[in-house]
Structure 1
């Protein structure tokens, strides 16, 4: 409810992490016939960095999503407790009159 924009951002973070993982894994599947040593090192770095970065981004996104859910649950329970306390106060005031 209150965190819909944040949830969208976190979900896009998770999706981008998965895309990075897939892209990095696709680098392993594609064979590159390169003569330059520099280009070979670039592809090797892509094969390592993109999947690791994807895993990190996905795990951070998943953790944030769980945190947002927990915050929403706590906020809902606080609201319910406030409603109950207001009812008790109203009943107490009505009993005095």
Structure 2
């Protein structure tokens, strides 16, 4: 099961990286695109840190940064309201406020 999760996450991050290729290109080959990964799953923080470290070491054009918030529902609502929207979200949201 862990292997399937790892493969799924790496595939998702790789697809995001490919979709962002060329976005915001400035001609500077030394700059990297920061990808904000929002995680609301306590049980996956350590695994995601390891996967992100592995991905970042192999992909110099992108830098994935994980942000963990235990109260993901409230934190995401605040982020969206303020315009600070993460590029990738992994959260178990059981309630949504309208």
TM-score class, shorter: under 0.3
Question: Structure 1 length as normaliser, TM-score?
Answer: 0.27
- Higher relative strand content: 2
- Higher relative helix content: 1
Structure having the higher Rg: 1
Query: Higher relative contact order at CA 8 Å, sep ≥6: structure 1 or structure 2?
Result: 1
Question: Structure 2 length as normaliser, TM-score?
Answer: 0.27
